[in-house]
Amino acid sequence: MTDKTAKLIFWGGTLSSLILFLILTVDTHRQVGALTHADKLSAQVLDGKRAFQKYNCNDCHTILGFGGYYSPDLTRVYSRRGPDYIRNVLQHPEVAFANSFRKMPQQHISETEIGNLVAFFEWVNNIETNDWPPQDSKKYRAANRLSSAAGVSRGAALFQENRCFDCHKLEGVGGDTGPALDQAGQRHDEETIKRIISQPQSVNPQATMPSHEDMSASDVSAIAEFLAKQKGEGR
């Protein structure tokens, strides 16, 4: 290869890459408003972002791909947990994570700031991120649902799909925020478990578990049937 050919390849590749980069950059900036729903970027959302920065939440949590990995990703926390759960954790982290190996400091966040943070998380939740983070992706959940076709009960597949393992343990696997469920069937009958899934506060007013009223009755029944069979036998 001659020097002239090498230079042509170098400059041709550099210029074409630069042009492509500029086109993609311009296209991204043109779509930012629509992808982030900028029309819903209210003063309360902005105050929530300021509170998020004030309390250094990024030290432990990741949001939109930026932050620490000690605690859960917060990009989709609003849809994953719901506003009531978020409020409770911000108000009483020492109670919410009493049984968890992860600990969140009590920062005495004011009620106004908590409301602002919830609004901020709701806005971030609705940003179009092309199914990121993957653990909250609808495709990821659909893949988990397919496990029922491989001999796993529908209730067990839904238990995994709905991220119940994030807070509860089964056979030593899962989180510590909520109680272990190996003996759920001994503590409650199937009908009570249904109520706990749909409206946990109707069974225990002090419960910090988010409600799942938007879950279909058939899905609730399948999970309740699965949990009612967990009686800790052989333990």
Instruction: Please write the tens of the pLDDT for every residue from 87-119.
Output: 999 999 998 888 888 899 999 999 999 999 999
- Domains belonging to the chain, first-starting first, are 38-125 (1.10.760.10), 137-228 (1.10.760.10)
Q: pLDDT at position 219, please?
A: 93
- Digit-coded pLDDT (tens) for 127-150: 998 878 877 776 555 555 545 445
pLDDT at residue 208, as a whole number: 83
Which tops the pLDDT comparison, 1 or 189? Answer: 189
Distance CA 230, CA 159 (A): 13
Q: Which residues pair with 67 in a beta bridge?
A: 62
| Torsions phi, psi for 174 (to 5 deg) | 130, -170
Quick check: 89 and 80 in contact, CB under 8 A? no
- Is the pLDDT score of 172 beyond 90? no
**Can you give the pLDDT at residue 138?**
64
Percent of the chain predicted with pLDDT > 70? 92
Measure the CA–CA gap between 8 and 5, rounded to whole angstroms: 5
CA distance readout (Å), 150 to 140, 145, 146: 16, 10, 7
How many beta carbons lie within 10 A of that of residue 118, not counting itself? 21
C-alpha to C-alpha distance for 75 and 99, rounded to whole angstroms: 24
Half-sphere exposure of 138 (CA within 13 A, CB side): 4
Whole-number pLDDT of residue 145: 52
Residue-wise pLDDT tens digits, 35-78: 889 999 999 999 999 999 999 999 999 999 999 999 999 999 99
Residue with tokens 């968890």: 100
